[in-house]
Amino acid sequence: MTTTVAKDAMRKGDKTIIAEGTRMIPLFIMGKRYYVPETLTIQKAMEYAGYQFIRSCGCRGGICGACATVYRLEGDYKLYSGLACQTVVQPNMYLVQIPFFPANKAIYDIEKLPYDVTAIQTTYPETFRCVQCNACTKVCPMDLQVMDYMAAAIRGDIEAVAEMSRSCVMCGLCTSRCPAETNQYNMAELCRRLYGRYGQKKSQQVAKRVEEIKAGKYDPMIKELQSIPLEELKKRYEEREWEPIISEGWQPKETKYL
């Protein structure tokens, strides 16, 4: 019984299926009231209300940062924020979307920057104007400790900035709230790149393999795979040895293709 219902439901793609008896609640999109089912995300509620997005919609899955939204709830002075594709509507939510907020992007050559605080001083000097007001942390929809990574940047702790900003979706909400006019997320991007370029050690194994490939080591092996009959190719595929899940010290029996 459930299976037949589901077969039908499966054909509805992404269209949210609204359960019977779902309550309709008032939602104020830029001050204008619409009634929407209470289970929807802000993004889907706006589509329900009749909007077709051009801006403010990218991944629809909480990672691109296109759908930054700020809102207040009736009778509450507080300012809230969220990603529209990840936040469920509440009754009497007053919202506006910020699909774009101007931010300073420094132009630099990663090869020419030092791995210390001066890299930040020369590219994003405004970072040092931070007054530690914490408005950025409060508004961040990814719950990052934005003010703390700004403090780490000021200390020149590039690795800490990289770690603390790792899941930044670059939505720009922090920048929109900053009284010191800093550009937190672009500065954090710089730090992540500096950390990847200079802080993390390069993989020796990757470098070694690149050399081997450039020297043509694997050309004959691949040519072999391209010239054997299909049946033989299938056989080799089926007979591959599998590296076990816990593989410390594991060595395959066949080593001539390594």
Partner 1 sequence: MGYTPEMKELIKRVEATRPARIERVKQGIQFPKLSLAEAQKRLRTYHPDYKEDGRREFKIGPNKGDGHTYPDEVVDLFEANSRIDPDKVDLSNPDFETDVLIIGGGGAGTTASLFAQQNGMKVIIATKLRHGDANTIMAEGGIQSADSPVDSPYYHYLDIIGGGHFTNKPKLVEAIAKDAPIIIQWLESLGMNFDKTPDGQMRLLAGGGICRKRMHSCGDFTGAEIMRTIRDEARNRRDDITVLEYQPAVEILLDEDGKAAGALLYNMETEEYIVVKSKAVIITTGGCGRLHIQGFATTNHYGATMDGVVMAYRAGVPHCFLYATQYHPTGVAYPEQNVGLLITEKFRTAGAQPVNIDGEEFTFPLEPRDVESSNIIRECMELGKGVPTPVGRIGVWLDSPMIDILKGEGTVERDFPAKFIQFKRYGIDISKEPMLIYPTHHYQNGGVEANEWGETKIPGLFVAGEVLGGVHGENRLMGNSLLDINVFGRRTGMRSAEYVKQGVTIKKLTLDHVRAYQKELKEAGIETDRISPMLLPDYTNPEVRNRQLTARYFGTLR
Binds partner 1 (CB under 8 A): choice among 32, 112, 230, 253: 230
CB of residue 142 vs ligand FES: minimum separation in angstroms?
10
Q: 65 in helix, strand or coil?
A: coil
* Closer Cβ to ligand SF4, 36 or 189, answer by number: 189
136-155 mask for partner 1 (x: CB under 8 A)? ------xx------------
Cβ pair 120, 113 in contact under 8 A: no
CB of residue 19 vs ligand FES: minimum separation in angstroms?
23
CB of residue 87 vs partner 1: minimum separation in angstroms?
8
Backbone conformation region of residue 96, classed left if phi is above 0, alpha if psi is from -120 to 50, else beta = beta
Binds ligand FES (CB under 6 A): choice among 25, 29, 57, 147: 57
- The beta-strand segments (E) located in the chain are 24-29, 32-37, 68-73, 80-83, 93-97
**Quick one: which segment of 54-62, 191-199, 232-240, 241-249 binds ligand FES (CB under 6 A)?**
54-62
Q: Does 102 bind partner 1 (CB under 8 A)?
A: no
Find the radius of gyration of the CA atoms of the chain: 26
Q: Does 23 bind partner 1 (CB under 8 A)?
A: no
Residue with tokens 């937190």: 184
Biggest alpha carbon distance in the chain?
75
* Closer Cβ to ligand SF4, 166 or 234, answer by number: 166
* Closer Cβ to ligand SF4, 89 or 146, answer by number: 146
Calpha distance 26→166 (Å, rounded) = 36
**How would you class 200 by CB atoms within 10 Å of its CB: exposed for 0-12, middle for 13-18, buried for 19 or more?**
exposed
Q: Does 77 bind partner 1 (CB under 8 A)?
A: no
Binding site for ligand FES (CB under 6 A): 57-60, 62-67, 83-85, 169
